[in-house]
Every structure is written in structure tokens, then in C-alpha cells.
A and B are shown apart, each in its own frame.
Chain A
Amino acid sequence: MKNLWLTAKLDVVESLRARWFMIYSLVFGGIVAMLFAFGLTESRVLGFIGLSRLLVTYIQLCMAILPIFVLITTVRSVAGDREAGVFEYLLSLPVSLSAWFWGKLLGRYIVVFMPVFLAMLGAALWALLNGIEVPWFMFLYYTALLAVIAWCFLGIAMLLSTLARSTDVAQGAAFVVWLVMLLFLDLILLGVLIQGHIAPELAVSIALANPMQVFRTAALMLFDPQLIVLGPAAYVVTDTLGATGFMIYGVVYPLVIGTVCATAGYFIFRRGDLP
């Protein structure tokens, strides 16, 4: 356990010194600052008041940015370190492979989740100080959503990093995974359904299997329980699972996907030649 924490700490410190982390933190901090600057907390549109509108906008932006950021920076860092010979040396020290892999994952997780969460927490604290109402349930649920989506894409990124033998391949694969998930968001599915090329059940299954779609739907579920702003997949989803059911699914499913991918990555990492 000591070695796991040592590895995690090492990864955190390495990341804090990296340029990507600075940009990553600036992006999420900047988004919140910008949303405040544009007066979103004062506006009342479609019933969103106080901080809720800011949080909804923030979570939508996170959906667009977080997955690709986590995927690309993780595969670049892990595969890049491997190519540069960093692992050859560090893995010659007496650290078990499980402590190394999971420690790296844990360190990475702290680094990718913290800026996103702290930006949101900062917004909530600012709202409190300025007497703006903070929707705490929404805040907590969005925190959980961000936590699991970061975990999900981190797990996928670690799996890709162990599968790919070079940084370029790992980066390309990460981009393709993100693109495929993006392509299968609800609007695309709606288009496919209209054309009648696939069965509606298949479209709904794809929507339920796509972590990005699940994240998006779960985020919208809080203020639009009927999901009227989404397409046909969301309609079937609410009919089958109900609003609460889907909110639970929205947290559990990405968690499972991330864990399964990370575990698969760990077994592949252990089984073959070390990087």
C-alpha cells in the first residue's frame, strides 16, 4: 500500500510540473470565471436561476472537453514516458506491478479530477459569499458525475496506453475512441433513426452504452426529467428506467466501464513485456 501511494504521489508531482496540467487547470478555471463574467448567475432563462444555470452550462462544457483532455493527456504521458525509457528505470526499483499501475492511475485520477471539481467548488463558494442560491443536490450530483466520467475515461486511456506500443498509436487510438463516442451522441442517432437504417432498439442500446451520452443525459435529467430536449433515445430511456433510475445508472455505468477498462489494462500490462 505504501508503494501505491508513493507511485501516486510521484505521478501527481510529475503532472503538476507538466505544461498540459497548467493548460488543463486554466481551461476549467477559465470556463467558470468566464461564466461568472458573462453574468450567468444573474440571468433567468427557462427557469434556471442562481447558480443552477452556471452549473448546467459548466457540466455541458465539461462533457465536451473533459473526455478528450483526459484521453489525450493520459496516453501521451503514459506512452510517452514508456517510449522515453522512464519506466525501464523506475520499474527496476522494487515496486510491485500492481502498486505501480494502480498508483499511477490513482495519481492521475487526482490530477484530472481535482481541477474540474475545484473550479465548480470555487463557483459554489463564490455564490455563497455573494448571497446567490446554491442548488446543493445538483452540485453533489454533478460532482459525482464528473468523478465517474473522469474515472471512466481514465480507465479507457490506461487500457489504450497498455495496448499501444508507441505514443503516436496511443494518441490516434484515443482520438478515434473519443470521435466514435461523439458520433454516437443522440442527435446522430436521431438522424440514423429517421433514415430508418437501424432498429430503434439498437440506437437506444448504443446511446445507453456510450458513456458520453449517459453523462449528457444524466446531467440533463436534473432539470429536464422528461428529457424533452433530447432525441428519441432519451424518450425510451426515461420510459424504461425512470428519472431516478437513470440518474443512478448515470453514475454506476461509467464507473463500471472505467473499472473494467483499467482492470483489463492492468492484466495486459502484467502479462506482457513491461514498457
Chain B
Amino acid sequence: MINFNQVSKTFKRNRVLDNIDLRIELGERIALVGSNGAGKTTLIRCLLGEYVYDGAVTVNGLVTREERTKVLQKIGFVPQLPPPLKMPVSQLVDFSASLCNSERSRMEDIAQRLGLDLGKIARLPFVKLSGGMKQKLLISIAMGRDTNILVMDEPAANLDPEARHIFFELLEERLENTTMLISSHRLDEVSALVNRVIELDRGKVVLDDRVADEVSLTSKLACRLVLRRPEASIAKALANWHFTDTGDGLSWQGSVAGPDRLRFVGMISRYVGVLTSISLDENGGDKP
């Protein structure tokens, strides 16, 4: 489906991509990881037909740079940094829907599911929205159209846990017929979403591995925590995850989206000194 054939890219004398050979099939969910400057963004921009390069990048046999309009009809893209667009939200949605031959209502529906009411913010300039709202809107535009490739750069970084869970549900609905390329600095942010990990380092593929694919994107885990003493910082962190205090700041419970488990454990590990008990139950996540 997507082929990178001996792709190299050089900026002045700096070789950012060095003979990349990759073959990505329909339905694969790929974590593209690597440190800053590893070449992730350049690889994505080659795929989007925004850069000229040596070698060939094709999507369903179409050369991305030469037939970019046809190729981009099938690619939904969510950038890491939202662009500082001054246009009102409604115009951005209309513009995107018209270009993508989609309907505004499809994008509105996705936004609604993510907790973003487009009616309320229609007249606001995009640039004035909060980071989370921008991210939700860009996800809505990328997913509210007929695509079979989703390219996302840290897509859930600015989302709250509830919106993240819905985002995972949206991805789950497209698992069968969509290829996903998710770029991130940190594997733990995206590990549960993917079934293949590609790591780049200084423009080369240094790891290309299939990973166990047993975490349901829509699952939820019931979580219960007991602390040694009440702590304001952990209370704040847990409140962000919509946890409920069930015992004077000592006992907390809530639910964690399945793909978020590593992220949650990473967060809670910062407070391990005050933690006396923790349980994560895969079968009880939907219980209040």
C-alpha cells in the first residue's frame, strides 16, 4: 500500500533520510518513533508529497509528489503543532470538507463525539482555541472524511483522558480498512495503539518490529489507588484523569482507557513513594 523505496532526503549538506526502505500494508498501525532530528517529520512530509527526495514514495502505486491530489484524498493528517490559522473554525471546516469531497456534518459528528461543539466555536478564529480544542478539530477534519491512511503526529498529546478514550474508539472503528502512521517521541505514548514499531535514528531505520496486538482500543480498566497520605499534587493529577476521591484524599478510583494504561502507570510512577496499593482490572472498567 505505502512504499518507501530507497528514499533519501538531504537539506543542504545534512542527510536527514538515508536510503529508507519500507513497505506498509493496509490495516497496519505503525508507531514511528525516534528522538528529535531522527527524520520522522521529514518522512511524513515526503509521504504527504511536500518534499522532493531521492528514491520513490508511492501510495497504492501513485507517486506522492507527482499525484499528490489523488494521494492526499486518501490521507488524513493531524500535525503535532496546530497551524496558527486566523480563519474562523467554520471556514476551516467548510474549506477542508470541500477540498476533501466530504460533508461538514461528518466532521461535526466526530467533533461532537470528542466533546467539541462546533456550533459554539464556529466564529472563533482557529488560532484562539485552546490546545486541546485545536487537536480535537484537526482530528475531526482528518477522520470526518473517506481516508484509508491516517498520519498523526502526537495526535493525543493535548487531549484529556475522556477525549483520548473516544479518540481510541474512533481509531478502533477504522482498524479494518485504515493504515495508521503515528509519530511520537515516546513509545509509551502510542505503544498500545500500534502493531508495528519503526524507530528512526539519524535518518535510518534502526528498528522495525511487529508488536503484540492484544490491547483492545475501546477497553477500559477499573483502577483503585490507596495512598499513604493525602497529597495535593497527586490529587490534581488524578482529577485530570477524572478519578474520584473516595476517602479523604487517601483512596481514589476511576477508569483508564486500555491503550492509555502505560501512560497512566508512567504518570502514577512519579508518586510511587506515597502509593500503598494500586489495582487495574480489565473487566471492570465501565463500572462507575
Contact = CB atoms under 8 A, between A and B. Distances in A.
Interface of A: 2-3, 6, 9-10, 13-14, 17-18, 84-86, 88-97, 271-274
A226 B275 CA distance: 94
Given A10-B95, A94-B99, A271-B52, 9 more contacts: A10-B87, A13-B91, A14-B87, A85-B81, A89-B79, A91-B48, A93-B96, A94-B72, A273-B50
A13 B87 CA distance: 7
Q: Which 8 A-B pairs have the closest CB atoms?
A: A94-B72, A89-B83, A92-B77, A274-B50, A94-B73, A86-B83, A273-B51, A96-B69
Contacts of B86: 14, 17-18
A6 B82 CA distance: 21
A92 B52 contact: no
Contacts of A17: 86-87, 125
Contacts of B83: 84-86, 88-90
Given A10-B87, A89-B83, A90-B83, A274 B51 contact: yes
Contacts of B95: 6, 9-10, 93
Nearest to B92: A10
B228 interface: no
Contacts of B69: 94-96
A10 B52 CA distance: 26
Nearest to B79: A89
Contacts of B45: 88, 274
Contacts, number: 75
B98 interface: yes
Interface in B201-225: none
Contacts of B73: 94
A51 B95 CA distance: 43
B68 interface: yes
A97 B69 CA distance: 9
B59 to A, nearest CB: 12
Interface in B244-270: none
Contacts of A92: 48, 50, 72, 75, 77, 79
A97 B64 CA distance: 13
23 contacts: A2-B98, A3-B99, A6-B95, A13-B91, A14-B85, A14-B87, A17-B125, A18-B86, A84-B83, A85-B79, A85-B84, A86-B84, A86-B85, A89-B83, A89-B85, A91-B50, A92-B77, A92-B79, A93-B100, A96-B68, A272-B52, A274-B49, A274-B50
Interface in B43-93: 45, 48-52, 68-70, 72-73, 75, 77, 79, 81-88, 91
A154 B211 CA distance: 53
A250 B117 CA distance: 54
B91 A10 contact: yes
Nearest to A95: B99
A194 to B, nearest CB: 48
A85 B73 CA distance: 21
Contacts of A271: 52
A166 to B, nearest CB: 14
A10 to B, nearest CB: 6
Contact of B98 (A6, A85, A90, A97): A6
Contacts of B48: 91-92
A84 B84 contact: yes
B84 A97 contact: no
Contacts of A91: 48, 50
